[in-house]
Amino acid sequence: MPERHRIVIVGGGFGGLRAAQALKRAPVDITLIDRRNFHLFQPLLYQVATGGLSPANIAAPLRGVLKKQQNARVLLGEVTDADVAGRRVILKDGEVPYDTLIVATGARHHYFGHSEWEHLAPGLKTVEDGTRIRTKILLAFEAAERELDPARESAWLTFVIVGAGPTGVELAGALSEIAHDTLKHDFRRVDPSQARIILVEASDRVLPPYPPVLSERAAAALRRLRVTIRTGTTVTGVQQDSVTVQTAGGSEVIPARTVLWAAGVQGSHLGRALAAATGAQLDRSGRPAVNPDLSLPGHPEVLVIGDLANFAHQMGRPLPGVAQVAMQQGCYAAKLIRARLRGRDLPPFRYHDRGNMATIGRAAAVVELPWLRFSGFAAWLAWLFIHLLYIVEFQNRLLVMVQWAWNYFSFNRSARLITGENPFPLDL
């Protein structure tokens, strides 16, 4: 038997997993490498961070997803480098040769050169981030209940979210629900509804990538949830008990013990290594610029897809780092490989924007489709439906549905566990 074309896919997110699945019937040997053993449905991670869902509800074991796909194997491993000349990826504990490499390792948060802010203002990318932020939010209310000094209590009850993209907006909405509904009768001394939720955004409106009319509706919905919106405001400092912001009017210090980061992304480290090896241009966010067919310069056998890729051949600026782009690029990569195996080629990748959406707390959302924009309850139902549809495992779809229905009708969020290291005294 002649050896089959070996495809290595690094990263089991939306892009990598879709690429693997789209190669189901191709005469190839696929190795999907991920350092986690599960695919994560990141768009719902904010619900883990706010106690509405459990991590397992938005995760699907990669081996389970691909168990019936005989041409694919899963390798749990951490890729540290790629030897492009030798056509092999380097793991922490081994190496894997390839004929075609698909890199889909995504991005992490970007602190604009202030990596010291990371432990004070965590971002939301992994399940551990989700449970850590959940613990941070819940402990803030616990600390407020124990605090006797009014100024310090107020700082415990102030939550600053940096960045008003979809994640920031969704976090702000969910936090407001926690404070006003979920925890309503939970405390005896402190009143959780006194919590201040401040959404800080550098540009002039929330949801900056969306049309202005939807930004306005989202802002109105957030204000109804008593979220304070501070647009035109940049963060210049994050301290243990405060955030320093800069506006047109000058600098200001906001006392706050909980700061969550939903601004800026940075390509994962493999992007830098690939750019160095191939001469691809690296943008400010550490993403290599890819060719129109998603390959790197001089290396048609190396494809970069998803959040890690800077694809600037369509909109004049890089495509947004959303699941849709990653999935379409994963499909394209698979198609391209199949075409090449038959000695053909494909026209360049084109992104088809099927619309965008964001939810803002209970029964409110904004939806932008190519032919329609709407908001409110109908948009929220559409948001629910689409998100349920894209969750990978059927059991998880069912569990998420039960929990959403329950959370909606009871105003409750039962996954609000404080886990991890012993947190006493709470002041630390």
Residue type, 4: R
DSSP state of 13: S
Q: Which is nearer to a second copy, 240 or 419 (CB)?
A: 419
Structure tokens at 258: 């909980």
Interface stretch with a second copy, choices 2-10, 75-83, 269-277, 326-334 (CB under 8 A): 75-83
Interface stretch with a second copy, choices 72-80, 152-160, 289-297, 299-307 (CB under 8 A): 72-80
Indicate the pairing of strand 250-255 with strand 242-247: antiparallel
Strands (E), 11-99: 28-34, 38-40, 59-61, 72-76, 79-83, 88-91, 94-97
> Does residue 399 bind a second copy (CB under 8 A)?
yes
Q: Which is nearer to a second copy, 371 or 424 (CB)?
A: 424
End-to-end CA distance of the chain: 63
> Does residue 247 bind a second copy (CB under 8 A)?
no
Report the alpha-carbon distance of residue 105 to residue 267 in Å, rounded: 8
> Does residue 381 bind a second copy (CB under 8 A)?
no
Residues linked to residue 91 through DSSP beta bridges, in sequence order: 79, 94
- Annotated active-site residue 118? The verdict is no
> Does residue 60 bind a second copy (CB under 8 A)?
yes
- Measured from the CB of residue 420, what is the shortest distance to a second copy in angstroms? 7
**CB within 8 A of 410, min separation 6: which ones?**
none
The crossing angle, in degrees rounded to 10, of helices 166-177 and 212-224 is 20
> Does residue 59 bind a second copy (CB under 8 A)?
yes
- Measured from the CB of residue 260, what is the shortest distance to a second copy in angstroms? 20
Strands (E), 371-425: 372-375
> Does residue 77 bind a second copy (CB under 8 A)?
yes
- Measured from the CB of residue 37, what is the shortest distance to a second copy in angstroms? 4
* Alpha carbon distances (Å) from 195 to 155, 175, 215, 255, 302: 9, 9, 24, 12, 49
A 10 A CB-CB count for 425 gives 7
Binds a second copy (CB under 8 A): choice among 63, 88, 132, 230: 63
Nearest residue to 138 via CA among 198, 182, 185: 182
- Measured from the CB of residue 406, what is the shortest distance to a second copy in angstroms? 4
Q: Which is nearer to a second copy, 68 or 317 (CB)?
A: 68
Report the alpha-carbon distance of residue 217 to residue 214 in Å, rounded: 5
- Measured from the CB of residue 59, what is the shortest distance to a second copy in angstroms? 6
> Does residue 194 bind a second copy (CB under 8 A)?
no
| Interface characters, 131-150, with a second copy (x: CB under 8 A) | -------xx--x---x----
Which of these is catalytic: 170, 201, 368, 393?
Answer: 170
Identify residues 101-130 at the interface with a second copy (CB under 8 A).
127-128
> Does residue 193 bind a second copy (CB under 8 A)?
no
> Does residue 61 bind a second copy (CB under 8 A)?
yes
> Does residue 420 bind a second copy (CB under 8 A)?
yes
> Does residue 345 bind a second copy (CB under 8 A)?
no
> Does residue 188 bind a second copy (CB under 8 A)?
yes
> Does residue 241 bind a second copy (CB under 8 A)?
no
Nearest residue to 359 via CA among 123, 46, 129: 46
Report the alpha-carbon distance of residue 242 to residue 176 in Å, rounded: 20
Task: Report DSSP letters for 70-91, one per residue.
Answer: TTEEEEE--EEEEETTTTEEEE
- Measured from the CB of residue 422, what is the shortest distance to a second copy in angstroms? 7
Nearest residue to 278 via CA among 297, 264, 253, 302: 297
3-state SS, one letter per residue, for 277-293: HHCCCECCCCCEECCCC
* CB of 191 closer than 8 Å to CB of 249: no
- Please count the residues of this chain forming the interface with a second copy, following the rule CB under 8 A: 59
> Does residue 178 bind a second copy (CB under 8 A)?
no
Binds a second copy (CB under 8 A): choice among 2, 85, 119, 185: 185
Q: Which residues bind a second copy (CB under 8 A)?
A: 35-38, 54-57, 59-61, 63-64, 67-68, 73-78, 91-94, 127-128, 138-139, 142, 146, 183-188, 393, 395-396, 398-399, 402-403, 406, 410, 412, 414-420, 422, 424-427
Residues catalogued as catalytic: 170
